[in-house]
Amino acid sequence: MFIQSIVDIINYMPMVDAMTRLRLVSLDDTVVFPGMPVTLSFDAGADTRVFLIPRQGAKYAKAGVVAEITERVQLAGRGFALTLMGLHRGVPGAAQTDRDGRLRVDVEERPDVIPPPALTHELERQYRAVVEEILELRGDDGRLSAFVRSITNTGALADTAGYSPDLTIAQKIELLETFDVVERLKLALKLQQERLTELHLRRRIRDEVESGAQKQQREYLLRRQMDAIRKELGESDGSVIEEYRKKIAEAQMPEAVQKQAEHELARLERMGDQNAEASMIRTYLDWLLAVPWSKRSEERLDPKHARQVLDEDHAGLDDVKRRITEYLAVRKLRAERGLSDTRRSGAILTLVGPPGTGKTSVGESIARATGRKFVRMSLGGVRDEAEIRGHRRTYIGALPGRLVRALRDAGTMNPVIMLDEVDKLGADWRGDPSAALLEVLDPAQNHAFQDHYLDVELDLSHVLFIATANVAEMIPAPLLDRMEIIRFDGYTTDEKLTIARGYLWPRQIERNGLRMDEVTIDDSLLRLVTTDYTREAGVRQLERELGTLLRKTATAIASGDRQPPVIIDAVAVREALGRAKVHHEAAARTSVPGVATGLAVTGTGGDVLFVEAASMAGRGGLVLTGQLGDVMRESARIALSYVESHAAEVGIDERVFEGREFHVHVPAGAIPKDGPSAGITMVTALASLLTGRPVKSTVGMTGEVTLQGRVLPIGGLKQKVMAAQAAGLTEVILPERNEPDLDDLPAEVRIQMHFHPVKSIEEVLALALEATAVEMVA
């Protein structure tokens, strides 16, 4: 068998036949294959065979078919109709015209060389399977499939692909030009597989279209049946329209809004429920009706009652409480004296302060004090203008903005709306939400606010807007210009103790499943937790520490280790909370010359800032470390220049600057720092270093310095002083022009602390430095 296969393959090697001269007949956009009959109209004369070659445009194929004339029929018009049968392939050679003017060509006849079955058996099986599947998809009755199965000649089988109407002329010519039978069968299989894939795709698309059409027809019939059922039950579209008409009449909308609602209702009535736009119109009408156009909360304009409610809910915060009572007092007087509210009589209060100081809860208290509904809108991270103004109805899934939804949730047109975290608004390619808020927060404009979705004027002038922010500088300037800023500068230690005893302790007892009579703690231990375990402007960390303490106690009671009532002592505090997290290290840090204690303001409140100075041999100059910003670097440069230029006045030998390099460092190097208020602290640190006199451990300072030694005012004094008190400092040096700001401090802070207003750096050094120098350790 093996030897026979080798012989078959050797016999399969193609042979070159002799050249034959035949008449050339070109076929435009038609391809004839061997074994294929074709009828043409031309005069063949005495020829019995011709050479048929396909032509596409002006280009002839590289191969043609030698065809035999099997029948001649003379037509009535003296022409001939010839029936030809393709015999085998041929390759055209040289051509010339005979004496009758006919073009003849030398043809190299190339009959198919039948390959051995070992090379074609699997290809034939695959080809027949693909063709039969194509014929099945086309609805063949079985006759064509039987014809394909009856073909035993491999070359003829491959040529059946040329009968396909789906093949292009170029593909048929490629098949004709393939002389090797095996390669031709592979090409035919590839082309038929592409046809099969295309037919499957067409079949799937047709099935999906038919399925969709059937589904639509089915839905249509079901809807018609539902309409008939509704009509029998008296629930036709007319009743839905009437229901909307009744709701619109009862809503007491403004005239323009009512006209818009009636216009949309008329459109809905004309188009019917089957129209795709009907659901969009119904959703729009539902939102129009959801706005409480005519509903108002009965406002309680009693300043004394409001102050009482605010005092019950919050300790301290006198500035906020005073401003709220003033707002209500003005509203009360205008109402009693018959003065109508003008468009500029509103107020937009903005509560600015560190986290945890009670800004959000103050809004709830204001709503309770005035008898209004309260709605909170969190704006942190909002980047899309449509969140404020809504989406236009042209978009799929469009909704009104947050303000319309807030009015719907409140159920009245005069709620208290809390715009929380307004300083954390973002902006991107979708728009700037802060720009949309300009109209909302302007009392002169918000009576005609227009939501993109509702597309009608919405009166927001009766809404009491209260915004909150951590840092006022992060609010865009045009928006900040429309706000009245009320600052939350944090709580004193005594206020924190009051809050812990009256609010945080009872709340944490309830959250941890305990009762008030089961656990007690002394005020001194509450002060210990406040001072040794927290350093913050607010009370969130304090509440977390109290929660940890009570969880440990609840665990001991639940496990039977301790029996109530439990009295928490200092040992229990240490066991539950661990070692102290806050260290009052001003005395230790300033015990050596070159270290001064400054005061700073951060996004979380005031803080204590140490400035360290050192000198070393070098070429002169100043090194700054601690992630200092540009303004703070300039302050350090000014401080060194002042000390050098006023060395004699400060008591420094001018020769000490020769060949020395200075290094100023502000610890907590991972935290960026900037601002001019550390100017006098840097001068004091350098003067302390060069005179050898340490800075007093009880003194903190803040102020900007000039090259002439003048001390300029700074901001955030209240937060800085409260941070100094929390850190254990008892004296604060501040600019003289900031002395009026001391009136904002709580009375107990003014009693406990000593303040030194100064105009020049000479006064600062006299107050801050110890009288005698100490030896520096080398």
Residue 49: burial class (beta carbons within 10 Å; 0-12, 13-18, 19+): middle
Helix or strand (DSSP H, E) at 377: strand 374-378
Region of 187 on the Ramachandran plot (φ > 0 left; ψ -120 to 50 alpha; else beta): alpha
Cβ neighbours of residue 689 under 8 Å, at least 6 residues apart? 593, 594, 613, 614, 615
Whole-angstrom distance, CA of residue 610 vs CA of residue 461: 49
In angstroms, rounded to a whole number, what is the distance separating the alpha carbons of residues 167 and 195? 8
* Of 174, 153, 172, nearest in space to 111 by CA: 153
Residues whose CB falls within 8 Å of the CB of residue 713, separated by 6 or more in sequence, listed in order = 703, 704, 735, 737, 738
Which of the residues 677, 688, 696, 697 is marked catalytic?
677
Could you tell me which of 265, 271, 223, 219 has the C-alpha nearest to residue 240? 265
Instruction: Give the active site residue among 172, 321, 373, 720.
Output: 720
User: Which residues, including other chains, have CB under 8 Å from residue 682's CB and lie 6 or more apart?
Assistant: 596, 611, 613, 635, 636, 639, 640, 664, 705
Nearest CA to 403 among 427, 425, 379?
A: 379
Distance between CA atoms of residues 258 and 265, nearest Å: 10
**Which one, of 133, 132, 122, 131, lies nearest residue 182 by Cα?**
122
304 included as an active-site residue: no
Task: Please report the beta strands in 75-224, taking only residues with DSSP state E, as ranges in sequence order.
Answer: 80-97, 103-110
- Which of 626, 711, 721 lies closest to 677, judged by CA? 711
Query: Which single residue is written with the structure tokens 């309770």?
Result: 368
Angstrom CA distances, 487 to 319, 358, 425, 469, stand at 8, 12, 20, 10
CA distance 515 to 335: 47
As given in the structure block, the two tokens for residue 736 are 């003289």
State phi, psi for 594 to the nearest 5 degrees.
100, 5
Q: Which of 685, 725, 727 is nearest to 705 (CA)?
A: 685
Are β-strands 660-665 and 622-625 bridged in parallel, bridged antiparallel, or unpaired? parallel
145 is catalytic: no
Distance separating alpha carbons of residues 709 and 714, to the nearest angstrom? 15
How far apart are the C-alpha atoms of 167 and 123, rounded to whole Å? 20
Q: Point out the residues that are catalytic.
A: 677, 720
